[in-house]
Amino acid sequence: MSLLSIEHLESQFVTEDGLVKAVDNVDLEIDRSETLGLVGESGCGKTVLALSILKLLSENTKINGKIVYKGKDLLKLNDADLQAIRGKEIAHIFQNPLNSLNPVLSVGFQICEPFMLHQNARKAQALREAVKMLNLVGIPLPSERAKEYPHEFSGGMRQRVMIAMGLACRPSLIIADEPTRGLDPTIQAQVVELMKELIETSGASMLLITHDLSLAAELCDKIAVMYSGEILEYADTKEFFKKPAHPYSVGFLESLPSRSMKPIRGTSLSLINPPRGCRFCPRCDQSTKKCKDIHPELKKVKDGQFARCHLYA
């Protein structure tokens, strides 16, 4: 049985302009010790999907479907039960560490919190654990740095602190939202190596959300490509990068500066009134009349590769 399975998930926002379907009928599974990369461009709904898992979205969001974690539907849990899972069983590493750390609390205290909350640790003991975590993520002089505040840390260091907080209670599932965004390449290299090592040693599963395909290629076992609220392709990492199936995946890969940097024409569309047929149809070079009229389902292309495209019907 998979560790987390998401079934028919819909996350919708009620706005003045209409209903925004940020996540639209998404199915995903993550096995134990598996890393799933959720890739897509800004506004495709990947962050909303991640925030839906632990119900971290605002009140005006409607979430439908099922999110089953170890046999329990997270969407049916009450606040107290959910609180017991947040940070302990499932940890969320947010993007933009400066905004996610509390500026008026010392870094050490912020890493203590999960220990005190979930393991009833005393403050002194929690602090010792926090220092251990800081050491684990490669922060020099951890016992001194623990007393400092987030603004005294550099971007790369803050990201390490976020990782330390996420891993504090040895969660079974880590949701990492753009963990390397905004870091310089040499610092990014340090953080990626650290994450690789920590995932391997802890055996945790991970949902990695990123727009960076090279990061996904390096860290993930499976890749899910999201576009306009939907999963367009779901495949084993190897199959995906060897031969992407969906025309959007192909275009996405070809637009990378490390490849031919060939652009995809047009821009992604509004999530308020998506077209009837395929959502990628207006930008696709291989579209036919069928694509305009009929919404494609996620179909098997071959073993370990699924695509939502009429080419594979």
Partner 1 sequence: MLEITGLKKTFTTGFINKRSAKAVDGIDFCINDHEMFGLVGESGCGKTTVGRLILRLIEPTDGQIIFNGIDLLKLDKKALRNIRPQLQIIFQDPESSLHPRMRIGDIIAEPLKLYDLVSKEGRNVKVMELIDKVGLNPEHINRYPHELSGGQSQRAMLARVLALAPRLIIADEPTSSLDVSVQAQILSLLKDAQKEYGFSCLFISHDLNIIRNMTQRMGVMYLGKLVEIGFTADIFKNALHPYTMALLSAIPLADLLAKRKRIILKEEMPNRMELPTGCRFRTRCNFKDKICETSAPAMVNVGNGHQVACHFPQKA
- Residues in contact with partner 1 by the rule CB under 8 A: 41-42, 154, 156-157, 184-190, 192-193, 211, 213-214, 217-218, 237-238, 241-242, 251-253, 255-259, 261-265, 267
The CB-of-302 to partner 1 minimum distance in angstroms stands at 17
The CB-of-59 to partner 1 minimum distance in angstroms stands at 27
Question: Quick one: 259 or 302, whose CB is closer to partner 1?
Answer: 259
The CB-of-280 to partner 1 minimum distance in angstroms stands at 11
Question: Quick one: 116 or 187, whose CB is closer to partner 1?
Answer: 187
Report the Cα 172 to chain-centroid distance in Å.
15
The CB-of-215 to partner 1 minimum distance in angstroms stands at 8
The CB-of-259 to partner 1 minimum distance in angstroms stands at 5
Question: Quick one: 61 or 249, whose CB is closer to partner 1?
Answer: 249
Sheet holding 4-15, edge to edge: 18-30, 4-15, 61-69, 72-73
Report the Cα 204 to chain-centroid distance in Å.
14
Question: Quick one: 113 or 218, whose CB is closer to partner 1?
Answer: 218
The CB-of-217 to partner 1 minimum distance in angstroms stands at 4
Question: Quick one: 15 or 267, whose CB is closer to partner 1?
Answer: 267
The CB-of-29 to partner 1 minimum distance in angstroms stands at 23
Cα–Cα dist 265/252, whole Å: 11
CB 111 within 8 A of CB 134: yes
The CB-of-162 to partner 1 minimum distance in angstroms stands at 16
Question: Quick one: 84 or 141, whose CB is closer to partner 1?
Answer: 141
Question: Quick one: 169 or 217, whose CB is closer to partner 1?
Answer: 217
Question: Quick one: 184 or 297, whose CB is closer to partner 1?
Answer: 184
